[in-house]
Structure 1
Amino acid sequence: MSPGDEHDYRGKDQGSRSDDPYSTLGGTRQTRTRLPDGDPGHPHARRPVRNSRSLVTITAVVVLLVAAIAIANRGGSDDAASPGAKSRGTAGSTPTAPTGTKPVQGKNGTIASGFAHDEQGAQSAAANYAVALGSAEMFTAESRRGIIQATHDPAVAQKLQDSLDAAYSPAFYKNVGLNDDGTTPTGLTFVSRTVPVGTKVVKMESDAATVEVWCTGLVGLAGQDSTKPVTGTWFTISQELKWVDGDWKISSSRQTEGPTPVNGDNRASTADEMAAAVDAYGGFTYAR
């Protein structure tokens, strides 16, 4: 976790079918009345089940399902496929719905670059930059400088680098369980990851944007003798972005705590399990 607020980048059950008063046959809201059993000759006796009718009904349902899937796979109209388009008949944004446009066109080292010059691209840039700035590579001077250069406006990058070089001091490294030079103690695995949960555009102009990234993070040392076990955090990063030389770059950022959910009942993994997971599972490139 980076020091300082300014540069700390980590930092009903559904009821049964009978519970629904509108739940009826085939969703038609039609009800079925069962007449009493009796003599076959009785005018109101229940008729025997017709297997042929049941077969026809099942076949019709299957045909309708196949047709619906085919229509869905063909995609919507041009409006629905455009970046930031909203579904007809719905209000507000659909933050988890893909737009169909690829906002990331390239890589700057290991960091995504070439974002679209629109809201979608700004959100994607903010999410990917949050990941890079919350990574374990920030704890090594050389890789930290590369991350800052790749994510920040050149007008502020050098000043920020100098500030962070001073902040990542032997005392700070000791506080997080690392050696004085920032290396990891023998037999342990250092974990520092930021995982975006969602993004929100607060302000959007032609060449400037303010994007908030809600994140969860992992930080600590995994291993049998660790005195700084890996813990989870929740925080929100607000990034001021500028369109610089054909891409979005950070001009300033700040971090606040939460929103934080209630902890679940999951069993905490062992130190070895956590270390193995960090080695086995890679990260993502984030896009809207």
Structure 2
Amino acid sequence: MLDEVRARLRVRHYSLRTERAYVGWIRRFILANGKRHPREMGEAEVAVFLTRLAVEGRVAAGTQNQALAALLFLYREVLGVELPWMAEVVRAKRPRRLPVVLTRDEVARVLAMMDGRTWLAAALMYGTGMRVMEAMRVRVKDVDFAAHEILVREGKGGKDRRVPLPGRLTVPLQDAIAHAAGLHALDLEAGFGAVWLPAALARKYPGAATERGWQYVFPARRRSRDPRDGAVRRHHLDEAVVQRAVRAARVRAGVVKPATCHTLRHSFATHLLEAGYDLRTIQELLGHQDVATTQIYTHVLNRGGRGVVSPLDAVP
């Protein structure tokens, strides 16, 4: 049955990360119910499982929602069973937290402790507002030096968007692309050189996978076997490499805030807001579906209708 789940997920072009997460939750659900087949269970068992996650497991709201999405996919798409909305499920509370944001000086200190490709990736995330996986998946053809912009393909929600290409990164990006071209040439000589493409594109343009423009700007150091089809390809740099480098740089820079790669994205948005850019512009650059999501940065700045000056500052 789990093989059928994987097959249905791949037909619908879910990411490998989502596939692993869904299969993991479905396995946990089955084990939690004495290895009974899901067809023998239904709304009641799903409700109990999700409630236990919130009450006993104390999982975050996003984690519980992911488990629910996995089980709904199992019943709807694989078993053909429509589960009604489970109102009795105890929902995990989603706390409203402000994002961690670095000052410009802190960003400069962190970047100063980095070098090479990880520095370029971190600088690109801060300079464009991209998520770490969006930065890792940038293809050579999506970097437009003439227009000074980068096309982000299939970001969160499967949406494309354009972000500014920082002028300070023009030469480093050109060097990175030249490095990627050298690796690609070596791969071609060795009988490889085909990069992963979405299924529809791979069928429509069978020769595109070996073209230079489709290669990643941040290629992995070595080729690896694709877990889906077994083909040996050079994938993009593992995002964990950049995440570890940013964490180590933060510690060396003496920044006590719990900054991560995503903090660079938050800092990008906050600093644009400080510079006077409007929320709609920032929303488009970040790829937020709703401007309400972008408004969180006004609270970081303590601006807007509730922005006040402390009366203590007025005391002589």
TM-score between both structures, scaled by the size of structure 2: 0.24
Larger radius of gyration: 1
Normalized per residue, the structure richer in helix is 2
Normalized per residue, the structure richer in strand is 1
